[in-house]
Amino acid sequence: MWLASSRERWGRSAPEQAHAGLEYTRGAPLAVLRNEDPDARENWLARLARCKEPARYAHAYRRWRQSLHSPDTLCFTVRALGRVLVGHGTSAATRVGLTLQHTWGVPVLPGSALKGLTAHYVQTVYGPEADDREEPEREPFRGTTWKDTRPIRAPGALFRRLFGAPDLDDSTGKATQGEVIFHDALWVPAEEGRGAPMLARDVLTVHQRRYYESGGQEWPVDFDDPNPVSFLTVAPGGRFLVALEAPGDRPLLERAEHYVKEALEHWGLGGKTAAGYGRFAREEPMGDHASAAARSPAAVLQSTPVLAELKTWLEDQRARKVGQRPQFQQLERDWKERLLELTGEGRQAAVYLLKQYFNLKRGEEQQRMEELLARLST
Contact yes or no for 242/76 (Cβ under 8 A): yes
pLDDT reported for residue 269: 95
Asked if residue 91 has pLDDT above 70, the reply is yes
pLDDT reported for residue 13: 46
pLDDT reported for residue 302: 63
Length of the chain, please? 378
Annotated domain spans of the chain: 56-114+181-282, 297-377
Between the alpha carbon of residue 106 and those of residues 28, 55, 155, 267, 367, the distances in Å are: 18, 12, 36, 23, 42
Cα atoms found within 13 Å of the Cα of residue 332, Cβ hemisphere only: 15
Per-residue pLDDT tens digits for 9-39? 544 445 566 788 888 777 777 777 777 777 8
E strands present in 67-114:
73-80, 108-109
pLDDT reported for residue 113: 96
Asked if residue 123 has pLDDT above 70, the reply is yes
E strands present in the chain:
73-80, 108-109, 145-147, 150-153, 164-165, 176-177, 181-182, 185-187, 199-206, 227-234, 239-245, 280-282
Average pLDDT, the chain: 82
| pTM as predicted | 0.69
> How confident is the model over 222-249, as a mean pLDDT?
88
pLDDT reported for residue 296: 63
Q: What angle do CA 170, 175, 178 make, to 5 degrees?
A: 145
pLDDT reported for residue 3: 44
Highest mean pLDDT (candidates 110-119, 226-235, 301-310, 336-345)? 110-119
pLDDT reported for residue 7: 45
pLDDT reported for residue 295: 54
Q: How confident is the model at residue 106 (pLDDT cuts 50, 70, 90)?
A: very high
pLDDT reported for residue 25: 77
Contact yes or no for 278/236 (Cβ under 8 A): no
pLDDT reported for residue 131: 67
Report the percentage of the chain scoring pLDDT > 90: 24
